[in-house]
Amino acid sequence: MFYVYILKCKDGSYYTGHTDDIDKRINEHVRGETPSYTSKRLPVTLVYMQEFPSRYEALVAERQIKSWGRNKKEALIKQNWELISLLSKRRVRSNPSRRFARQIPQDERPAE
């Protein structure tokens, strides 16, 4: 099995990673044994963990979670699927219009 995990750091930030040995990896973070983001933000607390059947799936999930904002990560930690869905829809709706608006000169934009 492979795992994706989220740690909450002393400064309130979140760190997301993946591993095939969850106990060993979390202990490394807790003890600050590896120079990483978390070693400068001790203590850390495990707040979320999910199993995956392959390293690839865990890595894909890790990258996806790392791209999320704080609110969406906290919704995942609380397993609030409704809020995750809402936050996902907001991002999808807002991004295309912002990109589209930037491509059209201000004086050529349609009136709202």
Domain 1-67: CATH superfamily, name plus number:
GIY-YIG endonuclease (3.40.1440.10)
pLDDT of 108 strictly over 70:
no
DSSP letters spanning 44-67 = EEEEEEEEESSHHHHHHHHHHHHH
pLDDT for residue 88: 85
pLDDT of 102 strictly over 90:
no
Please write the tens of the pLDDT for every residue from 39-66.
999 999 999 999 999 999 999 999 999 9
pLDDT of 20 strictly over 60:
yes
Cβ–Cβ contacts within 10 Å for residue 68, how many?
A: 18
pLDDT for residue 35: 86
* Cα 67 from Cα 44, distance rounded (Å): 20
Q: How far is CA 107 from CA 12, 68, 102, in A?
A: 44, 34, 12
* Cα 81 from Cα 11, distance rounded (Å): 26
Q: What's the mean per-residue pLDDT of the chain?
A: 86
What amino acid occupies position 58? Answer: A
* Cα 73 from Cα 80, distance rounded (Å): 10
**Selection from 1, 48, 45 nearest residue 21 by Cα:** 1
CA quadruple 104, 86, 55, 10: dihedral sign: positive
Q: What is the pTM of this model?
A: 0.78
Please write the tens of the pLDDT for every residue from 72-93.
999 999 999 999 999 887 654 4
pLDDT for residue 3: 98
